[in-house]
Amino acid sequence: MYKQIDSNKQKTWALFLVFIVFISVIGYFLSTYYQSYDFLFLAIIISIAISLISYYFGDQVALLSTGARLIKKEDNPYVYNLVENLCLTAGLPVPKIYLISDNFPNAFATGRNPKNASLALTTGLVQSLENEELEGVIAHELSHIKNYDIRLMMAVIVLVGIVTMAADMWWRSGMRRRSENSERGGQLGGVLMMVGLILLILSPIIAKLLQLAISRKREYLADADGALLTRYPDGLARALEKISSYKLPMQRASNATAHLYIANPFGGRAAKGLAHLFSTHPPIEERIRVLREMA
C-alpha cells in the first residue's frame, strides 16, 4: 500500500512535468518561427498555471462534468451514515458526498488528498444495491482516497481535456488564418494548421497514454483494501456483478473521466473490440473471481 502511495505521488508530478514540457515545446516552435521568445515564456506560464488549476481544482472539474450534486446528512442519512462509519473504521476524514442522477450503478472518488476528497455515487447505485454491497463500493472508493489514487486520477482529467482542446483550437485557428487574403495570414495559417494536424493525430494517443499511466492494479488493490475494511469481500463481489449487468452507458459518460469510476461508464460498449483492450479498468469478471477467493 505504501509503495502504491509513493508511486501515485511520483506519477502525479511526472504527469505535470510532461504536460509542461509538451506545451513548452509548442511555445518554442512558435518562438522559433517568429524569432521571438514571447511565445515560449507564455507557453511556460500557461502550462504551469493549468497544472496548478488541475492540482487544486481538478476535482471540481470532474464533479461538474458529471452533474454531481453535493448532499448533506439530512438529505440522505442512509448514505451519509454508511460513509461516516466506514471512514471511522479506516481512520479517514469524511469526504464531501455527492449524488449523480443516473440509473447506471457507479461511483468515483476524487480530490488531491484525504483531507480534500469527494465521493460521488449515482442514484442507480444507491437504489439497486443492498446494504453490504453498497458498503463494499464505498469502501473501495475510500481505499482510492487512502492510497492517493485520487490525486493521480484527478490530474489526468484536466491534462487529457487540455490536450484535446489544444488540438482542436490550433486546427480551427489555422483554418481561419488560411481563409484570410493576406500572404502573412496564409503563411501563419499554414503553420497553425500543421501544428493543429500534428496535435489532432497525437492528442488521442497522448490522452490514452496519460490514462493508461494509471495502472489497472490500482483497482485490484482498492478491491482488496475495501474487502479488508468491510471484512466481507462477497459484498463488493455481488455489487460488481450487479454493476456489470447494466449495459447502457451513463448519461454523461466521457473518455476524460472514465478512469475515475469503479466500473467503466460506457456499459456494454466497453467490452467490445479495442475498447476492451485499451480500457483503464481490469475485467470485472476477474475482479469478482479474486474477491471470491478472499472469502
Tens of pLDDT along the chain (295 residues) come to: 667 778 778 888 887 888 888 778 777 876 776 677 887 898 899 889 888 888 888 899 889 989 999 999 999 999 999 999 999 999 999 999 999 999 999 999 999 999 999 999 999 999 999 999 999 999 999 999 999 989 888 877 767 667 666 665 555 555 555 555 444 445 555 655 566 566 656 666 666 666 665 656 788 989 999 999 999 999 999 999 999 999 889 998 877 788 889 998 987 655 554 445 446 678 899 999 999 998 7
DSSP conformational letter for 72: -
Residue 253 has a pLDDT of 80
Q: Are 223 and 290 in contact (CB under 8 A)?
A: yes
Q: Which of 74, 132, 135, 141 is catalytic?
A: 141
* Number of domain units in the chain: 1
Residue 125 has a pLDDT of 97
Residue 182 has a pLDDT of 47
Determine the Cα–Cα distance for residues 146 and 143; give it in Å rounded to an integer: 5
Residue 131 has a pLDDT of 96
Q: What per-residue string of b and e applies to 283-293 under the rule 16 or more CB within 10 Å gives b?
A: ebeebbebbee
Cell numbers representing residue 202 in the block? 497525437
Residue 214 has a pLDDT of 61
Residue 23 has a pLDDT of 79
Structure-derived torsion over alpha carbons of residues 96, 6, 286, 100, reported in degrees to the nearest 10 = 20
- Note if the pTM is more than 0.75: yes
Domain that holds residue 101: 1-295
Any catalytic annotation for residue 132?
no
Residue 185 has a pLDDT of 47
